[in-house]
Amino acid sequence: MAESENIVAETAEKIFADLADAQTINRDNKGEWKAPLWQALTDAGLPLSWVDEDCGGSGASLAEGFSVLSAAGRFAIAVPLAETMLAGWLLAQAKITSPDGEMTVVPASPKDRMTVNADGSLSGKARSVPFAKAAKHFAVLASDAKGGVSIALVDATKGRIETGLNLGGDNSDTVTLDKVQPVTIKPAPKGFDQTRLMLMGGVARSLQIAGALESMLEISVRYSNERIAFEKKISKFQAVQHNLARLAGESAAALAAATSAADAIANATSFNDEVFLEAVAAKIRCAEAAEKGGAIAHQVHGAIGFTNEHILHRYSLRALAWRDDFGSESYWAVELGKLVCNRGADELWPLVASR
Amino acid sequence: MTAALRFDPIRLPSECEQLRKEVRAFLAEEIAAGTFDPHKPNREDTDVPEFSRKVGARGWLGMTWPKKYGGHERSFLERYVVTEEMRVANAPTRRFFVADRQSGPVLLKYAPENIKMDILPRICRGEVCFAIGMSEPNSGSDLFAAKTRATKTDGGYLINGTKIWTSSAHIADYMIAIFRTSPPTKENRRHGLTQFLVKMKQPGIQVNPIGQITGQYEFNEVVFTDFFVPDDHVLGEIDGAWKQATSELAYERSGPERFLETYYVLTELVRAVGTNPDTRSAEGIGRLVAQVHTMRRMSVSVAGMLQAGKEPVVEASIVKDIGTVWEQQLPHRVRDLAAFVEETATNRETLEKQLDFAIKTAPKLTIQGGTTEVLRGIIARGLGLR
């Protein structure tokens, strides 16, 4: 996962630095930065990182793709890069070729279900689907009456979309499919289910949150070294130093949890309890870090960080918003707690110490 | 980036898994034989010399040290596995833990050869117990305020003064202590301290017990009156101990002992809740497990950096800061959830006793081995704020 060893992540990082500077984006009310950024990402093959070359993608490894997401988090990217990567990955599970353009995955919450009807059409409602409005296609996971799981490519214009916005101001829409015939539908591989998709999405969000926290730490440290109050830099006040040390701790915890989970998934030979623990623990701990760390970053910035014109909200609000996608930390904590209790007290430590 | 923190997802290599099985089997045998009770962290007799010797005989002390000193030349990660299994089992490690973690590495680095050959093999056999003499009355975390004097005399030094909060001094065979050999200079208030090896149980040392609010007896006041230390017991540079002492502290910052000290209450909570938890219990347990998993991943990551020969000072301080704050809060969060445990839960009494003890233990966790405030100062320095 080290960036220096990863040319794909380096490419992403360079594009973000050139075309997704937070200050520039923050001043651009019309969203004119989006098209050139998406074009550059597409030219570099990044949205289809996880799709094999023979299916139209760039065939990067899972690990390489995950480090693209870390970088995307550090820039709090507000285009559907993670979503298109996830959609391409989902389609690739069923060997469905990815089309060009923006995509997203449906459903995006573990509580929503999409159904395959007897005639092969799809029905169902999915809430809080990130960037549904911007997507040209949906990658849909659906189940039929017999419990069979299918993966489908759906033309986005065939669905009904009710626009919504998340805390960060990005699209988070309700998608309704009413007997929509997919472009392609194929059975999911054996053992693949919605939990698997949610955990992959959750790890993507964990990496993004961890990246956003890294940036919040960086800009908070920088600001504390610039801002003078009571005749000295606020970085010289012990109370401020201790707050920043705590922010570093939250950032570090998020980074450790997210990269560990990404590594676990990238190297998993089966989707067992240990991989489940890694993935849900990352989502839970990163969400907690987003709350605690974001609060400190705002505290250090004082009133200026609370304004629209400052870039802090680009990171803090997105980190908070990402907590809700693919299952909130509360949802996964319940699932993890059930798993732990079900295995029994004496199996808890062996689970924690398994890796 | 100003503050690039790295926590690579280190995985324990396969040799660690075999070792883990051996340690678990050994601990199970000892529990079955009645050497210790894993459900009773509040043991009256935390000093169990024969247990130390058995651990030494297994090759689990001085694991990373050179073979010529009785060590086993194994990795930090293997040592990590032994430490965490002992900790989780509530094994009686008091007699050997400080020597293995901290004092041995100091001797390896700074002691003359004859002392190394004498003491290190005995540590590896589990025969000697060490204490650490850093804090003094009115110094504590302010290491450089230490006043206890070492005055040069023929063939050695005479020590006068008092150390305090010294864990295990009452059973220790040796203490590694810092004493004042010169006054601090204007330019450097850290100057003037020297590290010494002190042989305990000699005339001129008086050890006075200090009771703790847990009901345990662990730390002491140690009074030196014209106590003689020979020249070859000086460790490292005269007047330059501050560098040595701060690197020594790095050994005690990020290990599993820094987030697992109250872990037992979580295990007993899961037992009491049973296999079909209600939503609130499941959510609470799930969060705590996610947190301990994350702490452990961070701690293993730092162990990997140590193994790679790096000096992860900031990362280790972060692990200790959030690890100790976490293990301090854990009994209180478990208590929140224990309120909903059925009266009939089979281990309810064990859980309650453990909670009482853990809640009493909690206040010390963010004090020992560098207070939260000191650690946050180190982290702030690493962030470029001071």
Give the other-Cβ count within 10 Å of B172's Cβ: 27
What is the pLDDT, as a whole number, of residue B309?
86
Give the other-Cβ count within 10 Å of B282's Cβ: 23
| The pLDDT of residue A128 is above 60 | yes
Q: Which helix (DSSP H) or strand (DSSP E) does residue A177 occupy?
A: strand A172-180
Query: Cα(A300)–Cα(A122) distance, rounded to whole angstroms?
Result: 49
Mutate to test the interface with B, among A341, A343, A354 (most CBs of B within 10 A): A341
Q: What percent of chain A has pLDDT over 70?
A: 99
Query: Cα(B193)–Cα(B171) distance, rounded to whole angstroms?
Result: 26
Query: Cα(A37)–Cα(A43) distance, rounded to whole angstroms?
Result: 10
What is the pLDDT, as a whole number, of residue B2?
43
Copy the structure tokens of residue A310: 């400052």
Query: Cα(A163)–Cα(B375) distance, rounded to whole angstroms?
Result: 47
Query: Cα(B321)–Cα(A69) distance, rounded to whole angstroms?
Result: 28
The one-letter amino acid code at B261 reads E
| The pLDDT of residue A2 is above 70 | no
Would you write out chain B's pLDDT as a tens digit for each of its 386 residues?
A: 445 788 999 999 999 999 999 999 999 999 999 999 999 887 666 789 999 999 999 999 999 999 999 999 999 999 999 999 999 999 999 999 999 999 999 999 999 999 999 999 999 999 999 999 999 998 888 888 999 999 999 999 999 999 999 999 999 999 999 999 999 999 998 999 999 999 999 999 999 999 999 988 889 999 999 999 999 999 999 999 988 877 666 666 778 989 999 999 999 999 999 999 999 999 999 999 999 999 999 999 999 998 898 888 899 999 999 999 999 999 999 999 999 999 999 899 999 999 999 999 999 999 988 899 999 999 999 999 98
Question: What is the model's pTM?
Answer: 0.96
Measure the CA angle with vertex B160, ends B156 and B165; round to 5°. Answer: 115
Three-state DSSP state, A274:
helix
Chain A positions touching B9 (Cβ under 8 A) are 1, 256, 259-260, 262-264
Alpha-carbon distance B385 to nearest alpha carbon in chain A (angstroms) = 6
What is the pLDDT, as a whole number, of residue B250?
64
| Number of helical H runs and strand E runs in chain A | 11, 10
In A236-284 the beta strands, taken as DSSP E runs, fall at none
Of the listed ranges A47-51, A226-230, B307-311, B329-333, the least confidently predicted one is B307-311
What is the pLDDT, as a whole number, of residue B5?
86
Copy the structure tokens of residue B197: 């090896």
Indicate the residue of A236, A336, A342 with minimum beta-carbon distance to B289: A336
Mutate to test the interface with A, among B7, B21, B348 (most CBs of A within 10 A): B7
Whole-complex ipTM? 0.97
Q: For residue A216, give the nearest of A337, A300, A139, A132 by alpha carbon.
A: A300
| Mean pLDDT of the region A62-91 | 97
Q: Are A116 and A133 in contact (CB under 8 A)?
A: no
Chain B positions touching A284 (Cβ under 8 A) are 286-287, 290-291
Residue B200 CA: distances (Å) to CA of A47, B194, B236: 67, 18, 20
3-state secondary structure A119-136: CCCEEEEEEEEECCCCCC
| Mean pLDDT of the region A313-328 | 98
Chain B positions touching A259 (Cβ under 8 A) are 7-9
Query: Cα(B10)–Cα(A254) distance, rounded to whole angstroms?
Result: 15
Question: In the 8-state DSSP scheme, what is residue A307?
Answer: S
- Sorted by sequence, the CB contacts under 8 Å of residue A146 that are 6+ apart come out as none
Q: For residue B82, give the nearest of B26, B43, B130 by alpha carbon.
A: B26
What is the pLDDT, as a whole number, of residue B248?
65
Q: Which residues pair with A125 in a beta bridge?
A: A176
Looking at every residue in chain A, the average pLDDT score rounds to 96
3-state secondary structure A86-109: HHHHHHHHCCCCCCCCCEEEECCC
What is the pLDDT, as a whole number, of residue A1?
43
Exposed, middle or buried by CB within 10 Å (0-12, 13-18, 19+), for A73?
buried
Mutate to test the interface with A, among B23, B383, B386 (most CBs of A within 10 A): B383
Could you identify the residue written with the tokens 């999405």? A201
Please indicate whether, in this complex, the C-beta atoms of A349 and B267 are within 8 angstroms of each other: yes
